[in-house]
Amino acid sequence: MALIIGLGNPGRRYEETRHNAGFLVADRLGDRWGAACARAQLGALVGTGLISGVPVVLAKPQGFMNLSGQPATSLKGYYKVELDQIIVIHDDLDLEFGTVRVKKGGGHGGHNGLRDLNQKIGSGFVRVRFGVSRPPEGWDAADYVLGKWSEGERAQLPDLVDLAADAVEAVLRDGAQQAMTTFNARQPQRHLSSMDA
């Protein structure tokens, strides 16, 4: 059993923001595999099913980003999932837009959702990192990730969400190490400044 957690903020206000990349990928996986996150459980919206032949719980925590750890802890305990069987999908300022990477463990890099997860469950989970680029000079990082996708980014989002969903499937199917080899060698699909329209 694997637990896949897409990070984001609940509510319509945040739907189109960069910080909700994890929710977008979780929804794409749910659509692909008939496991939509439609049931409220332990502070998250969850779906269950098979992805790449592996039984999974797909979850979108419904507290705000900095409170992602408690639903994750509750689901981990309820479904008896080991830490190395957890995959977390999140936006990443340290990767340029158009980049998807797989990583195991590591620090939070200032990401409030990862910070809370690391504090509550430890840092040994697998991460699928969805690049959103650094904010333009003079922009506050929090305002940037809570800002809406630019027109140019929005045009590329479907392909990038698919790519990140592919990465999750590869972790489940081939293991984290092989998925890292496959995805971390890829060039970004196309560099596009977050300010491009």
Catalytic residues: 19
Q: In angstroms, what CA-CA distances link 149 with 10, 61, 135, 157?
A: 17, 21, 12, 9
What spatial distance separates the first Cα and last Cα of the chain, rounded to whole Å?
42
Structural tokens at position 48: 């269950």
Would you give the DSSP letter of residue 160?
A: H
Burial class from Cβ neighbours inside 10 Å (0-12, 13-18, 19+) for residue 39 reads: exposed
